[in-house]
Chains A and B, each alone.
Chain A
Amino acid sequence: MTPRLQREGGKKAALRRALWVALAIAAVAATLAMRGPRHEARDWAAVYSRRRYYDPVDLKLSPHGRRLYVACEGRNEVLAINTASRRVIAAIPVGRRPKALALSPGGRRLFVANAWSGAISQIDTRALQVTRTLPAGWGVEGMAADRTGHYLYAANPLGNDISVIDLASGRETTRLAAGHFPEFAARLRGSWIGISNLLAQPAPPDTPPSSQLTLINAATRQVRWQVAIPGAVQMRHIAQTPPRFGGYLLIPFLQPHNLIPLIELRRDWYASNGLAIVQLRGRRAPRVREVLLDELDRAFANGYGAAVAPHTPWALITASGANQVAILNLERLHRLLQSPDADELARRLDAAPQFVARRLPTGRDPTAVAASPNGHFAYVANRADDTISVIDLAGLRNAGLIRLGAQRPLTARRRGQQLFFSALHSQDHEIACASCHPYEGFEDGLVWSFETPRLGRDVVENKTLLAIRGTSPFKWNGLNPNLATQDGPRTAMYIFRSQGFSPVQVRDLVAFINARPLPPNPHLAPGGLNPEQARGRALFFRTRTNTGQIIPLHDRCYYCHAPLTHFTSRVLMNVGTATRFDDTGAFKVPSLEGIYMRPPYLHNGEAQTLEEIWTRFNPRDRHGITSDMNKVQLNELIAYLDTL
């Protein structure tokens, strides 16, 4: 904004305005110093004592390429690194869990999405200080500022929407509908903003998943296309190739093969990893193609970051599970996509060598990748190593490592984190824990057909790993007494189909999983329950029906979903939800904590919303007595459940 003002007025006027702006910034800073930070400082202290690792998760290079900004979600900081000296020159404290970065077009303002604060920090890149805090939606992550720098678009994974923030007023003007769990955003050529989704669109459990790319026309600030990416989940960073290489959007994704029984782990029987390739075509609907980055006997597990190196034919894709960065030859890719059988590429395991120029090892859990504006270097953030890999794009080789200064020796939890994201422990390196538990231990929202005594039966919905401490036994059938049993030989034999983790590794992994917290619940206002939620709470704990009859103890909500033990009684209960595909009727009572963020519901993912649990799948009142409730009460009950 300031540069534009300077252009408009004379020098004096500009000075005057600059003075005013400086005063305003000072005032804001003072206000922040007096009020905001004090509250947040307490949080930081708590977080610092718990999490000492940096966990670099997003990178942005300044327009001239001399400075690299790193969002470190583990320490609630943004680091500024001098790319010449490869040294950290500033650590700027921001809000909780900074997940994503966006630069204003000129590079003067850096926006930091603080997922757990539900707010965006705006950093003045000259002063390297937070100048203001912008409102945002639930669990805000990926952001992109439009070309003019007037509006900022922010993806809210927990709200399934996109905030449009007017940067002049600092107010959120609109929330646009996005698909399920939008997590990453990018400014594209023209006036497009792209938003990719982590999870598949809600759908009946026996249908293959389909994810969504939301394309916003920044000129109208409205969604123009909601592009279905068939078969895909976990779409992440978006990179756009130059027009001469087709101008495609490249989005790493995972194609889960959850509907076929998981009796193998070879040649992508569980999942494929690759790229969605989206071609914008003006007024016509964008065209979607898919290519795999997996190879015949070696998977490119959990693609994450994507970047196109200017002035080169290279695009870089990181695989957080394979600890690799693949360097794509865009010219060859472009040519391959022109071939008549390009549609088959979505499943071809032998295509990647045709366009992957080089695969380079990275640190553990590589996430974001950024290429310098001159195309000389690329940088990969290795989240579980607290390092930045530097890649020489001229020689396509590793050219150094920037260490952010991790604590040594590693804690058990840290070692567990490294194992959690690594696919190197499974046969053909196909999957990591994180493949099915994205969002650092969440769930993918899919049902999976595991190898069971009867194949194709007992198909169950994936379960979250967030906040599961104290809720054992695990699995819908309750057969796993603890995490160590699950993560040991069982994972080795039936999931990884390999040697699996050693007992020491299992201990580390369990330490990591047990420490997975839930994000702060956006339904819960600071003042406690609102009246509707409070009425819902009364319904949850009610002992009589609307007609005054006493509800038997075992038919009350709180009997099975016991509040003192994370809203689960930790036993198996038959609530009449078994179908003809189940060999058992009793399932472990799931915890209700964070229930709002993890549809679908019930053991087989039949209920796509909380409402459906009672409206469709509780016809005989076996899942609690609910049929006497009216719709208003049901809404209130759900309003309360949303706060757990």
Chain B
Amino acid sequence: MDLTPEFYAAADPQVSPSGKELLFAAMRRRRGHWQIWRMAAAGGAARQLTRCAADCQRAAWLPDGHIVYTLSGGRAARLGSQLYRARADGAHPHPITFGPGNFRLEAVLRSGRLLVSAAAPLDRRAAAAPTRALYTLRPDGSTLRLFRWQYPAHAAPTSARELPDGTVIFVAQPSRPAAGPAAKMGKLAWFPPQAARAALLPGAKPGLDSVRLLDGRRWLLSGSAATSGCAIYIYDSAAKALVTRVYQAPRMACAQATPLEAQPAPWIYHSILHLQMASGRVVCLNAYRSTLAPGGSWRRGRLAQVRVLALRGGRRVTLGAAPVQPDGSFYLRLPADLPLSFELLDARGALVQAQRSWFWLRPGEDAGCQGCHENPALAPVNRWPLALKRQAGAIALGLGRTASNRAPMRPR
């Protein structure tokens, strides 16, 4: 049954947790923009939720009654595509990502975090970046983190899904053009639960780019296989092989199969941001720790300062510098919702290490990092950072004098 006969194109169907509604991206006319629509799963009239001046795609339900979607192109295109969050009726859309990197929503994890894909590293040259990676993000836009970190070479992950056991499956799209149509097709890859390294999913065909769980063992794979057009398969995850082809439509370009049933709702994430604030704080536990340094750590005493850069109007500006404490810690208050990047300097002001990507702080966010480009598989060291012990508070950089440095009283 064609649910969307009135659209020129439709994609990314998302079944609501109740299983009774659908969220999808669609364009009415051939040269129009993609927008986010909502309709009853049983069919019927679709309701347009977004009025994007550019393309709005890849939407998802949030358990707290909001939706989140990807906006690409248009005026925001300077930084690439970004994620937006809006109420379930489409009202109050606001961005939740701010850096360069062409963010694209992949899925809402069961923990309530968003799984997004973006350029790796997240830098200015995002559009031209050869590789992409998966990141996680809280649904309020805070706490951007790399999701696992080892991907098949030169592959851009798309269409990522989380399975109940924690497995994350994605399509490894070749990021470099290769010869032949088959070579252009993505291959299904997966992160087994708790693995840092992703691997290609054995037994899957190239071109399959959508995965849905049928039951504990069987998955629904769909996509456009090179030879046979659009197809939907059932995959036995234990046997690691395709077992049945349930549907084939040679004339259609692709398919994204989704079972129409109630979905397990992700956890509600309670935001603790203070949107009225103009700044956020970041505490780094030990800037000496870096995988870029020989032996995983810079020589003791080498780091003296951290310089903060920002991307304002597409230009790099220096917000200022603050001391790095002898234990490598620093504690800063920085402008919110602005792409930021760190540079570590030695006592003479020479650059020791520059962050290769951009991050941001949401208003009132407290971000913490263990080090600068540290090994993400290491647990933090339990030590009272000197930046918190010696300094009276966060050192504010890039904030005007009028900017309030005082956080509101917060219970704990």
Question: Which positions in A face B, CB cutoff 8 Å?
Answer: 206, 208-209, 231, 255-261, 263-264, 266-269, 272, 292, 294-298, 344, 347-350, 352-353, 427-428, 449-457, 459, 475, 479-480, 489-490, 492-494, 497-500, 581
Q: Let me know if B385 and A297 touch, CB within 8 A.
A: no
Assembly CA distance A459 to B111 (angstroms): 28
Specify the main secondary structure of chain B where it touches its partner. Answer: loop
Within 8 A of A (CB), among B121-159: 143, 145, 148
Given contacts A295-B193, A493-B270, contact A259 B382 (CB under 8 A): yes
Partner of A297, one of B194, B270, B381: B194
Please tell me if B178 contacts chain A, counting CB pairs below 8 Å: no
28 contacts between A and B (CB under 8 A): A206-B384, A255-B379, A257-B380, A260-B368, A263-B283, A272-B379, A295-B193, A296-B148, A296-B194, A297-B166, A344-B378, A350-B377, A353-B194, A353-B195, A451-B366, A453-B410, A454-B393, A455-B366, A455-B388, A456-B384, A456-B388, A493-B270, A494-B272, A494-B410, A494-B412, A498-B267, A498-B269, A499-B63
Task: List chain B residues, Cβ under 8 A from A268.
Answer: 379-380
Which of chain A's residues has its CB closest to B366's CB? A263
Task: List chain B residues, Cβ under 8 A from A493.
Answer: 270, 272
Assembly CA distance A563 to B194 (angstroms): 52
Question: Which positions in B face A, CB cutoff 8 Å?
Answer: 63, 111-112, 143, 145, 148, 166, 193-196, 267-270, 272, 281, 283, 285, 331, 366-368, 376-385, 387-389, 393-394, 406-412
Q: Let me know if A490 and B383 touch, CB within 8 A.
A: no
Assembly CA distance A238 to B114 (angstroms): 40
Assembly CA distance A192 to B407 (angstroms): 55
Looking at the assembled complex, report how far the CB atom of A319 sits from the nearest CB atom of chain B, in whole angstroms.
14
Looking at the assembled complex, report how far the CB atom of A429 sits from the nearest CB atom of chain B, in whole angstroms.
9
Which of chain B's residues has its CB closest to A256's CB? B382
Assembly CA distance A161 to B191 (angstroms): 48
Specify the main secondary structure of chain A where it touches its partner. Answer: loop
Q: A453-B410, A494-B411 are in contact. List 18 more A-B contacts (CB 8 A).
A: A206-B389, A208-B382, A257-B379, A260-B382, A264-B368, A292-B379, A296-B377, A347-B378, A347-B380, A348-B377, A350-B196, A451-B366, A455-B281, A455-B331, A456-B388, A475-B412, A480-B411, A498-B111
Given contacts A263-B368, A453-B406, A455-B366, contact A347 B379 (CB under 8 A): yes
Looking at the assembled complex, report how far the CB atom of B212 sits from the nearest CB atom of chain A, in whole angstroms.
21
Q: Let me know if A269 and B194 touch, CB within 8 A.
A: no
Given contacts A451-B412, A452-B410, contact A298 B166 (CB under 8 A): yes
Shortest Cβ-Cβ A-B pairs, 7 listed: A456-B388, A295-B194, A499-B267, A268-B379, A350-B377, A263-B366, A259-B384
Q: Let me know if B382 and A231 touch, CB within 8 A.
A: yes
Q: Let me know if B381 and A347 touch, CB within 8 A.
A: yes
Assembly CA distance A66 to B255 (angstroms): 58
Task: List chain B residues, Cβ under 8 A from A449.
Answer: 384, 388
Given contacts A263-B283, A263-B366, contact A489 B270 (CB under 8 A): yes
Q: Let me know if A298 and B380 touch, CB within 8 A.
A: no
Task: List chain B residues, Cβ under 8 A from A255.
Answer: 379, 382
Given contacts A256-B382, A260-B382, A454-B393, contact A490 B411 (CB under 8 A): yes
Assembly CA distance A265 to B381 (angstroms): 14
How many contacts between A and B, using CB within 8 angstroms? 136
Which of chain B's residues has its CB closest to A459's CB? B384
Given contacts A267-B376, A451-B366, contact A208 B388 (CB under 8 A): no
Task: List chain A residues, Cβ under 8 A from B406.
Answer: 453
Which of chain A's residues has its CB closest to B369's CB? A264
Assembly CA distance A200 to B281 (angstroms): 32
Partner of B112, one of A298, A353, A456, A498: A498
Partner of B270, one of A264, A349, A492: A492
Q: Let me know if A349 and B269 touch, CB within 8 A.
A: no
Q: Let me know if A500 and B270 touch, CB within 8 A.
A: yes
Assembly CA distance A494 to B412 (angstroms): 6
Assembly CA distance A266 to B406 (angstroms): 26
Q: Let me know if B384 and A260 touch, CB within 8 A.
A: yes
Looking at the assembled complex, report how far the CB atom of A427 sits from the nearest CB atom of chain B, in whole angstroms.
6
Q: Let me know if B366 and A258 touch, CB within 8 A.
A: no
Partner of B412, one of A209, A294, A452: A452
Looking at the assembled complex, report how far the CB atom of B368 sits from the nearest CB atom of chain A, in whole angstroms.
5
Assembly CA distance A9 to B194 (angstroms): 63
Q: Let me know if A348 and B378 touch, CB within 8 A.
A: yes
Assembly CA distance A499 to B113 (angstroms): 11
Assembly CA distance A295 to B165 (angstroms): 13
Assembly CA distance A264 to B267 (angstroms): 17
Assembly CA distance A561 to B281 (angstroms): 39
Given contacts A450-B412, A451-B410, contact A349 B283 (CB under 8 A): no
Q: Let me know if A266 and B145 touch, CB within 8 A.
A: yes
Given contacts A348-B377, A451-B366, contact A296 B196 (CB under 8 A): yes
Which of chain A's residues has its CB closest to B63's CB? A499
Task: List chain A residues, Cβ under 8 A from B145.
Answer: 266
Q: Let me know if A453 and B378 touch, CB within 8 A.
A: no
Partner of B368, one of A261, A295, A457, A494: A261
